[in-house]
Amino acid sequence: MLPLVKTSIPSRELLMPELEKVLYSGYVAQGDVVEKFEREFESYIGSGNTLSLNSGTAALHIALILAGVQEGDEVISTPLTAEPTNVAIKMTGAKIRWADVDLNTGGICPISIENNINSKTKAIIFVDYAGIPCNIKAIKQISDKYNLPVIEDAAHALGAIYEGRKLGNHFPFTVYSFQAIKHLTTIDGGALQIQDDELYKKAKKIRWFGLDKGVSRLENDIKFQGYKYHMNNVNACVGLVQLQGIDKIIQAYIYNGKYLDENLRNIPGVELLEYYPDSEPSYWLYTVKVENRERLIKKFADNGIMASELHKRNDLHTFLNDFPTNLPNLDIFYKKMLHLPCGWWVTKEDCDKMISIMKEGW
């Protein structure tokens, strides 16, 4: 079965010598290797300060704290995402206010964001779902107009580009996931890209119990709530080796995504997604809208290919549905949304097989 997602691990020859150095160094906790990974990831993104963490969820939580979100506040978010995006909001004690999606892209709809702003709104979270950049220009305009901090969840979109710069350069806080099946994995982990230097210093304390690791414990004075969210040297070592080949990995996704874009046009029952001007997806999942989705999923499975909607829309979770909302665009989009495999493990022959299956009809 051709999997929808798959973990990318560097070759034994590249990874194991570096990993053994760390494992037998006598220091496997957070240390110099973590620091090196952070600086190299910063270089890859192109701006800001990288705070490495043990998960993307931790990155979301710290971003919300830095944005000033507290119990009783509201955060505008999208229900079309993996659950951690919105579980993190609940971790602060805030409530989730749903914005609808753009019917053409699946990304959060700026008009719906603005329509949901009220006196309790303290932040906006949006997700570059499946690796497709959202309408960043419009979201920035809303942020400026209402003086609301924006958290970009780019967990699916490492290497995606908007206006010539990688995601991570456009908002105060950008979240990445390095969980097992993402473009880059540290086995498990995540990062928060923070543009402000002072907030970065604060975030370093939040991820380690509120303690300043640059000062001895006897001299420390905890002044706010912190957590055990740090990355360790072992995970960071895997990340450093992954970074050596990350461009090749991401380009494989992009090549397959563009190939499918070119060859799935004008097939009855298939609608391609649109991409915003000046944006370049990194295609973590290849996403289309199709009629009779379940029938097509079965046909793919019968031909040895996994296809799925993958994520449950988050407003169907009781715990996350603070304000039940009519979301007509999401209703239409989610009913038709289908993800196909397009990552580094997918060959041109695999793509041609998927194209042929869809051209045959279902």
Burial 9-29 (b: 16+ CB within 10 A, else e): ebeeeebeebbeebeeeeeee
What is the side-by-side strand order in the sheet with 74-77? 49-53, 190-194, 173-177, 150-153, 121-127, 74-77, 95-98
The helix (H) or strand (E) run that includes residue 360 is helix 348-360
Determine contact, residues 68/81, Cβ cutoff 8 Å. no
* Catalytically annotated residue among 182, 204, 205, 289: 182
Angle at the Cα of 103 from the Cα atoms of 157 and 192, rounded to 5 degrees: 25
Q: What is the CA radius of gyration of the chain?
A: 21
Is 205 annotated in the active site? no
Nearest to 44 by CA among 214, 322, 316, 249: 249
The helix (H) or strand (E) run that includes residue 76 is strand 74-77
Report, in this order, helix, strand and coil percent for the chain, each rounded to 5: 40, 15, 45
C-alpha distances in angstroms, 69 versus 8, 94, 95, 197, 313?
Answer: 35, 7, 10, 19, 23
Nearest to 148 by CA among 76, 84, 72: 76
Q: List, by residue number, the catalytic residues.
A: 182
